Chain A
């Protein structure tokens, strides 16, 4: 039963489909904001466009460049996919507890975030192309700048709940959401998520106009399919983390006595919040232009780190 939950609902399969839906929403939002219509013909309203992209890439030939590290390029993409795929099953969806809750799972989730960036830089370096090497350098600089504000902003809800497990943080939010007492933390988290996802204004490691495809330049076929899916899954993972930490997770305004109805309503509340956070990220991402790497480092070190520290102090006072 637990295995079925892990693999199907609310586990991996469920979140992979949400990842496809997220890409569809991202492309549609960008298109509508630019006065276009976006994907239209693959499925109703183009809903199956990301699925078509994935299947097409997976069915293509995979070219491994001559000077690259073949072992890493073959086995790296599935491992890269595993990072958010393992992290996401710790997110509570249908109730206050996730499928495999653990008293310290917040730490594990943070480790997963760091591991995903490590995998990305490893993959970029093993491809050994010129553009991917530049991109990895930028990725690492960006990582060192956004990681500290990200972790500081995650600590605030943990302190408010007095708990290091995601389930505990969700239960502590049954009366009020932590975004009310940690609004700056939420803002910093969203900005740092943009940097983690390499989206504008922090798409410096994958800047199309400067370094071709970033660290993904030399990927093709199956590897590219995995990498793209992983990026979408990370999108869902970070939005789900924001919902869990700041927006009350699956908690909703109405409580039901019937347990099945409660599960269904919790899932609906969670999805509504998840897609709202996703939509917020898409709008910000489409509206902004890219900044330089030194500007990004400056922004994170001189503005966002002190802000998240101030938030932390405020939260400790509030508690």
Chain B
């Protein structure tokens, strides 16, 4: 393991985007930063700007209004970057599946590295997902294409 890989595994800065979610998932993401779960233990920090972030956490179904904005945010992040879809909505529409006014998942808009299911997922699941992302070599959707 080189020094670079070590640093990337120990320091994960996340940026959280609410792309038309019901806010349930966002509250669970913030839960992971509270004293009970405290993801700063494993080096996760919530950063204010997407340009600082390594991991983009996207919640919600990504409707027509958020689509371009999500793309802009994704393009502002610097490589190496990862995208994590959090919650059933971000995976494929969730409870809103089939509605005329919603999107059907984050991976229709930007490449996703990891999916965390649940409506909303528990903070444990989110922590597990982030750990899996950095230690378990997640599949890279950009290479598969």
Tell me the A residues contacting B by CB distance below 8 Å: 27, 31, 34-42, 46, 48-49, 51-56, 59-63, 208, 212-213, 216-221, 224
State the Cβ distance, B11 to closest chain A Cβ, in Å: 4
Enumerate B13-50 residues with CB–CB distance to A below 8 Å.
Answer: 13, 35, 38, 40-43, 47-49
Cross-chain contact B38 with A37 (CB below 8 angstroms): yes
Cross-chain contact A63 with B41 (CB below 8 angstroms): no
Q: What are the residues of chain B within 8 A of A35 when measuring CB–CB? A: 35
Closest to B9 in A: A52
Please tell me the size bucket of the interface on B: 20 to 34
State the Cβ distance, A210 to closest chain B Cβ, in Å: 10
Among A41, A55, A217, point to the contact of B7 (Cβ < 8 A): A55
Among A31, A41, A216, A220, point to the contact of B43 (Cβ < 8 A): A41
Minimum-distance CB pairs A-B, first 7 = A55-B7, A52-B10, A42-B10, A61-B78, A213-B49, A35-B35, A40-B41
State the Cβ distance, A58 to closest chain B Cβ, in Å: 8
Q: What are the residues of chain A within 8 A of B43 when measuring CB–CB? A: 39, 41-42, 46, 49, 52-53
Closest to B2 in A: A59
- B98: interface (CB < 8 Å): no
Cross-chain contact B6 with A52 (CB below 8 angstroms): yes
Given contacts A38-B38, A55-B3, A63-B51, 9 further A-B contacts (CB under 8 A): A37-B40, A38-B40, A41-B43, A42-B43, A51-B7, A61-B79, A63-B76, A217-B51, A220-B51
Q: What are the residues of chain B within 8 A of A62 when measuring CB–CB? A: 78
23 example contacts (A-B, Cβ-Cβ < 8 A) are as follows: A36-B35, A36-B38, A37-B38, A40-B42, A41-B43, A42-B10, A46-B43, A48-B10, A49-B11, A51-B7, A52-B6, A53-B11, A53-B43, A54-B7, A55-B4, A56-B7, A60-B78, A63-B76, A212-B48, A212-B49, A217-B49, A217-B51, A220-B78
> A36-B38, A61-B78 in contact; A41/B10 too (CB < 8 A)?
yes
Cross-chain contact A52 with B7 (CB below 8 angstroms): yes
- B132: interface (CB < 8 Å): no
Q: What are the residues of chain B within 8 A of A27 when measuring CB–CB? A: 40
Tell me the B residues contacting A by CB distance below 8 Å: 3-4, 6-8, 10-11, 13, 35, 38, 40-43, 47-49, 51-52, 54, 76-80
Q: What are the residues of chain B within 8 A of A217 when measuring CB–CB? A: 48-49, 51
State the Cβ distance, B56 to closest chain A Cβ, in Å: 14
Among B6, B41, B76, B79, point to the contact of A60 (Cβ < 8 A): B79
How many angstroms between the C-alpha atoms of A31 and B33 in the bound complex?
A: 11
How many angstroms between the C-alpha atoms of A38 and B43 in the bound complex?
A: 8
Closest to A217 in B: B49
Cross-chain contact B41 with A39 (CB below 8 angstroms): yes
Q: What are the residues of chain A within 8 A of B8 when measuring CB–CB? A: 56, 59
How many angstroms between the C-alpha atoms of A179 and B124 in the bound complex?
A: 50
Q: What are the residues of chain A within 8 A of B76 when measuring CB–CB? A: 63
Q: What are the residues of chain B within 8 A of A40 when measuring CB–CB? A: 41-42
How many angstroms between the C-alpha atoms of A291 and B36 in the bound complex?
A: 29
Q: What are the residues of chain A within 8 A of B48 when measuring CB–CB? A: 208, 212-213, 217
Closest to B42 in A: A41
Closest to B79 in A: A61
Q: What are the residues of chain B within 8 A of A49 when measuring CB–CB? A: 10-11, 43
Q: What are the residues of chain B within 8 A of A36 when measuring CB–CB? A: 35, 38, 40
Closest to A31 in B: B40
How many angstroms between the C-alpha atoms of A213 and B46 in the bound complex?
A: 12
State the Cβ distance, B105 to closest chain A Cβ, in Å: 27
Among B6, B13, B41, point to the contact of A37 (Cβ < 8 A): B41
State the Cβ distance, A249 to closest chain B Cβ, in Å: 34
Among B4, B52, B80, point to the contact of A213 (Cβ < 8 A): B52
How many angstroms between the C-alpha atoms of A304 and B56 in the bound complex?
A: 43
State the Cβ distance, B4 to closest chain A Cβ, in Å: 5
